[in-house]
A and B are shown apart, each in its own frame.
Chain A
Amino acid sequence: MKVTDIVEKLGLNVFSGHEGLGREVTGGYASDLLSDVMGHAEAGTVWITIQTHRNVTAIASLRDISAVIITSGEKPGDDTIAQSNEEGIPVLGTELRTFELAGRLYSLLG
Chain B
Amino acid sequence: MTFEYKVQGGDFTHAGYASSQVKKMLKQLGVDSVVIKRVVVCLYEAEVNIVAHARDGIISIVLDTDTILMKLTDNGPGIANIEQAMQKGYSTASPEVREMGFGAGMGLPNISANADRFLITSEPGTGTALEITINLNSAAV
Contacts and interface: CB of A to CB of B under 8 A. Distances in A.
A62 B113 contact: no
Given A34-B101, A54-B12, A61 B107 contact: no
Contacts of B41: 38-39, 63
Contact of B102 (A34, A43, A54): A34
A71 to B, nearest CB: 13
Interface residues of B, number: 23
B104 to A, nearest CB: 4
B106 interface: yes
Interface string A50-90: 01011100110111100000000000000100000000000
A68 to B, nearest CB: 12
A63 B41 CA distance: 8
B141 interface: no
A107 interface: no
Interface majority SS (helix, strand, loop, mixed), chain A: helix
B13 A54 contact: yes
A51 B13 CA distance: 14
A51 B100 contact: yes
Contacts of B126: none
Contact of A62 (B40, B100, B106, B110): B40
11 contacts: A32-B101, A33-B101, A33-B106, A34-B102, A38-B44, A38-B110, A43-B37, A55-B48, A58-B16, A59-B16, A64-B33
Interface of B: 12-13, 15-16, 19-20, 23, 33, 37, 40-41, 44-45, 48, 100-102, 104, 106-107, 109-110, 113
Interface of A: 32-36, 38-39, 43, 49, 51, 53-55, 58-59, 61-64, 79
